[in-house]
Homo-oligomer: A and B are copies of this chain.
Amino acid sequence: MQLRQLKTFEAVVRHRTVTDAAIALDLAPSSVSQQIRTLEGTLGVVLFTRGPRGMELTPAGRRLRGWARSLLDQAEQATRDVRGERQLLRLGALETLAGSYVPQVLARFAERRPDIDVEIHSERARDGLLADVIEGRLEAALLLDSGDDVGGLGFPAPAEPLTFIDLDPVPLALVSAPAHPLAARTALTPDDLKHERLLVNVPECSFWMAGNKILGPGPKRIKVGGVPVMRAWAEHGLGISLLPRFAVADSFRSGTLVQLGLPLPDLSLRLVWREGQESLPGMRDILYAAARP
């Protein structure tokens, strides 16, 4: 077993064909094929089934996959440590979070763990983010969630075991224009709102999911776009919207939006990582450095 072979194995897993893996590795397909065959010979197991559409992992191949990731990660961390460079924590975050929440998390890492380099990877889709954590391309990821389990907000969680800590509460606000008929009411219930127009983003959006949990299916969904767009439409009285409170703080101050009187639970800014697969020594302690004091 050689690290070079594991790297090739991983490329095949990722790209699904010898041909594409070869391109990615800047090798000839025959070299890739040969390395995989040699690795299979060394281990005495078949790692892939071969088909006209490419390579599919066998059960043994699936078992190797986690090890390969881990060994390659450790080799990289070893290189960094031996060179006197800092350890690298690859942290994924959705683009929607990258601007708002990531800086304070980075600040905490910088303050409490100056020995660690944190590399932020922005991603557009939560499922891709979680896949990267599961497959070892990221050490951890930041996302919005609620409840006691990953996916409590409503999105599908991967089958593989994930561990998490909740770094910060993320308070929400259900907002409307000041002239809204319900603006002066207190002690609203979801039932009061079932005939409202709820300005929303796509179904994968955390606030769409939060809206589902808090308001139920009652209000009519009006898809308008991201947080800034939802806020703008709400200010124009085109509907109500469920948004993170910090995103509408200025609108409250300027009087262009008001918060409706519906009690709201907080979401959590959640740091998630793969259980039992920690490429960094003391990774749990490192991740805990991001928690609120």
Type the 1/0 row for A81-103, where 1 means its CB is closer than 8 Å to any CB of B. Answer: 11110000000000000000000
Find out whether the CB atom of A83 lies under 8 angstroms from the CB atom of B4: no
Binds B, one of A60-68, A182-190, A246-254: A60-68
Please tell me if A78 contacts chain B, counting CB pairs below 8 Å: yes
Which residues of chain A from 176 to 226 have any CB-CB distance to chain B below 8 Å in the complex? none
Please tell me if A75 contacts chain B, counting CB pairs below 8 Å: yes
Q: Tell me which residues across on chain B come within 8 A of A60, comparing CB atoms.
A: 82-84
Find out whether the CB atom of B281 lies under 8 angstroms from the CB atom of A83: no
Q: Tell me which residues across on chain B come within 8 A of A24, comparing CB atoms.
A: none
Find out whether the CB atom of B3 lies under 8 angstroms from the CB atom of A45: no
Instruction: A276 to B283: give the CA distance in the assembly, Å.
Output: 10
Please tell me if A30 contacts chain B, counting CB pairs below 8 Å: no
Identical copies in the complex? 2
Number of interface residues of A (CB under 8 A): 28
Instruction: A74 to B281: give the CA distance in the assembly, Å.
Output: 14
Please tell me if A106 contacts chain B, counting CB pairs below 8 Å: no
Please tell me if A1 contacts chain B, counting CB pairs below 8 Å: yes
A44, A60, A74, A78 — which one has the most chain B CB atoms within 10 A of its CB?
Answer: A78
Instruction: A47 to B81: give the CA distance in the assembly, Å.
Output: 13
Find out whether the CB atom of B70 lies under 8 angstroms from the CB atom of A82: no
Given known A74-B74, A277-B281, contact A67–B43 (CB-CB < 8 A) = no
Instruction: A84 to B281: give the CA distance in the assembly, Å.
Output: 27
Find out whether the CB atom of B67 lies under 8 angstroms from the CB atom of A78: yes
Given known A60-B84, A67-B78, contact A2–B3 (CB-CB < 8 A) = yes
Instruction: Give the top 10 A-B pairs by smallest Cβ distance, nearest first.
Output: A67-B78, A64-B82, A63-B82, A60-B82, A63-B81, A276-B281, A43-B82, A1-B75, A71-B74, A45-B82
**Chain A interfacial positions (CB closer than 8 Å to B):** 1-4, 43-45, 47, 60, 63-64, 67-68, 70-71, 74-75, 77-79, 81-84, 276-277, 281-282
